[in-house]
């Protein structure tokens, strides 16, 4: 249920409404827009809508029949803009994240980050805990990998993102990373989502391999219902009958999600296509379709990569793509950062 307050209503009246719904056993989530303050009233209890309508300062009470509430534009009409290390995602801002699939050694991260920093990349990616299809494939360096990622990022004034796989890893991740990444395979790990909802760091939620947009948004709702407002959605391709590309990049998800939700949607063309030469065209297409950001795999020497070398760009290719995207952003009238 959404409680729309009258415009210019006093803080005192807002607090009285919050107290009232809390007493009835609901959680209150506040969205302060330019015109109206909206209070999201979320819970499993039953309440007579008229009891709220009668409270001082309340303009209207709307029952939401759609399954997602806090992620929806009804709750928050304005775009959510998430800023990390000066890079903005959302609104008219398209942010860039780049780096290797996985952290291998300090030297590998340093060599890659050095090239990326020359392109002005401010957010470095690198997996330390890898959800590999085969138990015999490289599983990541674990905490040691997070330390390397952090040290290298600090050297180049970068922020970092890395995938967290389990609830008990969260405290460790909070020490090292700026964006907590939820991988496609964990999109419906509800305990993980609930625990991430209790943190106050941005969460990048990748779309599940065969998740519908509604399921993806419901996973974002799990995080937001815990009080964490900073969710970045990431379209990374879905599984279809097509096998030439690793996945099928669903670019239509961008405008679809942006209509329903205020959350930023970024695109991962690397995992979506699985092929290096498809990354540049799909990055441009993503920007044109309105993506709020990109996350791209880059390795200083992809032939030696322990993971996803075939889809990782050479630093020179990335630099060229970065320049082309910058030019494209002028035509699209967006802030590419």
Of the listed pieces 25-33, 178-186, 191-199, 324-332, which binds ligand PEP according to CB under 6 A? 178-186
β-pairing verdict for 37-42 and 27-32: antiparallel
Which of 90, 315 has the CB closer to Mn ion? 315
Which of ligand PEP, Mn ion, none does residue 184 bind to, with CB < 5 to 8 Å depending on kind? ligand PEP
Which of ligand PEP, Mn ion, none does residue 178 bind to, with CB < 5 to 8 Å depending on kind? none
**Binding string, residues 125-144; x marks residues near ligand PEP by CB under 6 A:** --x---x-------------
Least distance to ligand PEP from the beta carbon of 105, Å?
Answer: 17
Which of 74, 232 has the CB closer to ligand PEP? 232
In the structure encoding, which two tokens stand for residue 77, read together? Answer: 């009409």
Least distance to Mn ion from the beta carbon of 183, Å?
Answer: 9
Give the number of other CB atoms < 10 A from CB of residue 191.
10
Give the number of other CB atoms < 10 A from CB of residue 248.
16
**Binding string, residues 95-114; x marks residues near Mn ion by CB under 5 A:** ------x-------------
User: Residue 208 class from Cβ within 10 Å (0-12 exposed, 13-18 middle, 19+ buried)?
Assistant: buried
State which of positions 201-220 bind ligand PEP (CB under 6 A).
206
Taking CA atoms, 112 is separated from 152, 153, 294, 311, in Å, by 10, 11, 17, 15
State which of positions 306-335 bind Mn ion (CB under 5 A).
308
Least distance to ligand PEP from the beta carbon of 234, Å?
Answer: 7
Q: Is residue 329 within 8 Å of residue 315, measured between CB atoms?
A: no
State which of positions 63-92 bind ligand PEP (CB under 6 A).
none
Q: Is residue 160 within 8 Å of residue 173, measured between CB atoms?
A: no
Q: Determine, following the binding rule CB under 5 A, whether residue 163 of this chain makes contact with Mn ion.
A: no
Rounded CA-CA distance 2/26 in Å is 12
| Single residue of 38, 101, 238, 321 touching ligand PEP by CB under 6 A | 101
Give the chain's end-to-end CA distance (angstroms, integer): 37
| Single residue of 28, 42, 109, 163 touching ligand PEP by CB under 6 A | 163
3-state secondary structure of 32: strand
Least distance to ligand PEP from the beta carbon of 131, Å?
Answer: 6
Which of 279, 280 has the CB closer to Mn ion? 279
The beta-strand segments (E) located in the chain are: 2-5, 27-32, 37-42, 58-62, 82-84, 87-89, 93-99, 123-125, 159-163, 179-182, 203-206, 231-235, 265-267, 293-297, 335-336
Rounded CA-CA distance 189/184 in Å is 10
Least distance to ligand PEP from the beta carbon of 119, Å?
Answer: 20
In 3D space, the residue among 86, 108, 112 whose CA is nearest the CA of residue 98 turns out to be 112
Q: Determine, following the binding rule CB under 6 A, whether residue 299 of this chain makes contact with ligand PEP.
A: no
Which of 18, 238 has the CB closer to ligand PEP? 238
Of the listed pieces 5-13, 17-25, 93-101, 223-231, which binds Mn ion according to CB under 5 A? 93-101
Q: Interface with Mn ion by CB under 5 A: which residues?
A: 101, 308
Q: Interface with ligand PEP by CB under 6 A: which residues?
A: 101, 127, 131, 163, 183-185, 206, 236, 268, 271
């Amino acid at each position: 249920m959404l409680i729309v307050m009258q415009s210019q209503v006093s803080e005192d009246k807002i607090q009285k409404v919050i107290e009232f719904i809390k007493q009835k056993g609901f959680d209150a989530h506040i969205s302060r827009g330019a015109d109206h303050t909206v209070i999201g009233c979320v819970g499993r209890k039953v309440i007579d809508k008229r009891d709220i309508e009668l409270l001082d300062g309340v303009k209207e009470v709307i029952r939401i029949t759609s399954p997602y509430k806090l992620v929806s534009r009804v709750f928050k009409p304005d775009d959510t803009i998430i800023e990390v290390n000066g890079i903005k995602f959302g609104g008219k801002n398209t942010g860039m994240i780049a780096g290797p699939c996985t952290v291998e050694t300090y030297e590998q991260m340093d060599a890659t980050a050095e090239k990326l920093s020359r392109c002005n990349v401010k957010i470095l990616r690198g997996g330390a805990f890898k959800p590999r299809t085969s138990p015999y494939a490289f599983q990541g360096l674990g905490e040691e990998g997070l330390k390397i990622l952090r040290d290298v990022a600090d050297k180049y004034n970068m922020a970092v993102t890395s995938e967290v796989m389990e609830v008990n890893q969260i405290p460790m991740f909070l020490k090292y990373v700026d964006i907590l990444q939820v991988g496609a395979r964990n999109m419906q790990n509800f305990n993980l989502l609930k625990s991430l909802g209790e943190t106050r760091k941005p969460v990048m939620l990748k779309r599940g391999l065969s998740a519908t947009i509604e399921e993806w948004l419901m996973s974002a709702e799990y995080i937001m219902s815990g009080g964490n407002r900073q969710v970045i959605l990431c379209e990374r391709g879905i599984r279809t009958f097509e096998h030439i590309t690793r996945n099928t990049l669903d670019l239509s998800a961008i405008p679809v999600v942006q209509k329903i939700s205020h959350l930023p949607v970024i695109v991962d063309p690397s995992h979506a296509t699985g092929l290096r030469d498809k990354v540049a065209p799909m990055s441009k297409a993503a920007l044109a379709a309105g993506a709020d950001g990109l996350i791209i795999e880059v390795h200083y020497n992809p032939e030696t990569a322990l993971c996803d070398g075939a889809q990782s760009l050479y630093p020179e290719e990335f630099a060229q793509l970065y320049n082309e995207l910058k030019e494209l952003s002028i035509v699209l009238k967006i802030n590419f950062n």
